[in-house]
Structure 1
Amino acid sequence: MGCGKIADGHAEQLLAIGRADLVAACDREPLMVERFAQRWTGVTGHADMADMIRVERLDAVHIVTPPDSHVQLACQAMELGCHVFLEKPFALDAAGTRRILDCARETRRRIGVNYLYNFETPGLRLRELMDERALGDVVHIDTSYGYNLGGDYGMAVMGDPAHWVHRLPGKLFHNVLDHVLAKVVPFLEEPVAVNAFAHRMRPDSGDAALDAMPDELRFTLAGANGVTVSGMVSSHARPVSHAMKVYGTRDTVELDYAARTLVRSARQDQPSALGRLFPAWIQAVRFAGNGAKNTGDFMRNRFHYFQCMRVLLGGFYDAIEGRGEDPVPHTHILRVATLIDGIVDALERPA
């Protein structure tokens, strides 16, 4: 449901996992549906989602429309018997998120969300390290997410003052905070204290809608368990970053989601000048190990751009078939939405 840019990513990975047949697409713009059907063989175009579900007798629907439509569309699809996979943001706020999750529970349908970066290679490795207690207790997390306003998605937002991103309560940040927060909510116990501030670095454009959109965000989170998080969403920092550093009582690791690496932080275990000589070489070996693994994954056809979505969708369809739990727990989805609400509220508080 929805035939915009990200719809092709869903279609590609859905076909790659071979767990379902891609048979129909729907969009309120006939031209979008027509072009999508031309790109994907065997797809029938529709103008109404309910009609599509009934006519095609669908089992699952991927909803990739703007988030202000998610509550209505997701609940309608589940009430018609479909499992639903939602593109982020899951909903506009925590209240909408609860409505969707409640509907999933009432209809006994599976609901998933595209928190794909939790299923990137470094994200999966971090989960293994946590299960092994290799890091000890987490003390602090530093996370960064870059958004290139000159890229394909950024240009779409900047080139259209009527783009749906400008309607979001948190505007640009609202569209990416799911990716940032989904990675840290497993480490935080509620209640979580939230502080945030934002500003615009780019010059005036003369368009009120564009100039009302900040492009730099900083925030801090403090969980009831004492774990803290510092976060940055930046449109100007270069290179464009997508990274996280997790500090533990036993060890610390640095994750680069763009490069698909996870390395332990350097230690200075030897005395004097020698202690400063070895860490760089040790880190080089660790990065080389990551490079070798990535090369192996590439050779085995497991290094696609949306490989993480492929892993996530595999888990989602496992859950539909009763072979596993939801890959993204409902509790995590709601906590992400609650934290986004908290950040938006913090940005609206007087300085």
Structure 2
Amino acid sequence: MEEIRWGMIGCGDVAERKSGPAFQQVAGSRLVAVMRRDAEKAADFAARHQVPKWYSQADALIRDPDINAVYVATPPASHEAYAIAALAAGKHVYLEKPMALDSDGARRIAEKAKESTGKLVIAHYRRALPAFRKVKELLDGGEIGQPLLVDVRLLQPAKPGLVAASETNWRTDPAISGGGLFHDLAPHQLDLMLLYFGAVQRATGFSANQAKVTEADDFVSGLIQFENGVNFRGLWGFNVPPEQALDSCEIIGTKGKISFSFFGEAEVVLWQDGKREVLRFKNPAYVQQPMIEKVTGYFLGQNPNPCPAGEAVEGMRLIDAFTGKKVYEKQDGAQPG
């Protein structure tokens, strides 16, 4: 049986908790090698997860003839270089979000994928989790009628220790992450909005560094009007009092409402005819496993691309618009695949 033989670039916290071991549990998938610049940590990960090889240089992993697919699980600053190198070598690529530091970098990766014999998928893994799939099913089935308005709010208290340099706080260094915690968390949310509501007509927003404890903005707001008439309002704040913390999405339609959180309990609340129904779900031990199953199937030619690069580029364009990096301009024609 043909199989996908993975090499993983970056084996830190995300790979440890969310994705790495899942590559060993998916049919037709095998984790052959891992890479981390800290050789001791790379060797430790490989030993604990029964991975045959480890490297301290990404180029060596990409050149390994035993590997036909590369999972890039490093911070965003290195996504573009590693993804393009792997695609140039003809390897399939599963690339962590955010796709790049900005939409320009994301476009360059998408263009390189068109030239490569390798396939490219972006790791917006929430698409494959049961709660978020249920939301799409409810929307597609007309359970709340015609969707009208989406309100997203993600408010978190300031986290201690963000100023000190460490491997755990790179998310608030714009040179490494592209921005702040918004750049780390909002890609999940905006990707689902694109999945649910389709093409964007216009988008705008603004951001600010209110606390000034890091170089990154800690407040972002954004507005989207989708081509189907749905209007979106988003608010992100990472310096609120603990009692004001909030993680919510409300989708209001002509016949009801759907509400859920992105990072909390795996449940969806459906409001219809004055009645409230709570739908609860269970996530797998490694939350990326359902997506990795779809990615592996796509690489093996068994199913469509579960998250094409063009859709992730669009998400990056929204992030750039909300943070003032670029004015959002409507693009004619199909998004790049």
- Cα 1:213–1:51 change in 2 (3 A) is closer
- Asked if 1:6 is matched to 2:14, the reply is yes
CA positional deviation for 1:313: 1.1
1:259 counterpart letter in structure 2: E
- Asked if 1:338 is matched to 2:317, the reply is yes
> 1:37–1:43: 8 Å Cα contact kept in structure 2?
yes
Per-residue Cα deviation, 1:16-54 (whole angstroms, up to 9, x for no partner): 224311121112222221221232113311122232233
Per-residue Cα deviation, 1:216-243 (whole angstroms, up to 9, x for no partner): 3332222344321111223335475433
CA positional deviation for 1:113: 1.8
> 2:11–2:45: 8 Å Cα contact kept in structure 1?
yes
The match for 2:224 is 221
> 1:122–1:256: 8 Å Cα contact kept in structure 2?
no
CA positional deviation for 1:126: 1.4
Map 1:32-181 → 2, pairs under 5 A? 32-147=41-156, 149-150=158-159, 157-160=162-165, 163-165=169-171, 166=173, 167=175, 168-181=177-190
CA positional deviation for 1:63: 0.5
- Asked if 1:317 is matched to 2:323, the reply is no
CA distance in 2, matches of 1:212, 1:107: 37
CA distance in 2, matches of 1:191, 1:239: 32
Aligned with 1:242 (options 244, 247, 264): 247
- Cα 1:46–1:212 change in 2 (3 A) is closer
1:43 counterpart letter in structure 2: P
1:216 counterpart letter in structure 2: F
CA positional deviation for 1:128: 1.3
Map 1:236-275 → 2, pairs under 5 A? 236=240, 238=243, 240-257=245-262, 258-265=264-271, 267-268=273-274
CA positional deviation for 1:199: 4.3
- Asked if 1:327 is matched to 2:289, the reply is no
- Asked if 1:190 is matched to 2:200, the reply is yes
CA positional deviation for 1:66: 1.5
CA distance in 2, matches of 1:314, 1:327: 10
- Cα 1:15–1:199 change in 2 (3 A) is same
Any unmatched runs of 5+ in structure 1?
Answer: 205-209, 269-281, 298-302
TM-score by length of 1: 0.79
> 2:209–2:218: 8 Å Cα contact kept in structure 1?
yes
- Bigger shift: 48-57 or 247-256? 48-57
CA positional deviation for 1:182: 0.7
CA positional deviation for 1:77: 0.7
1:339 counterpart letter in structure 2: L
| Richer in strand (by share) | 2
**Radius of gyration: which is bigger?**
1
> 2:249–2:261: 8 Å Cα contact kept in structure 1?
yes
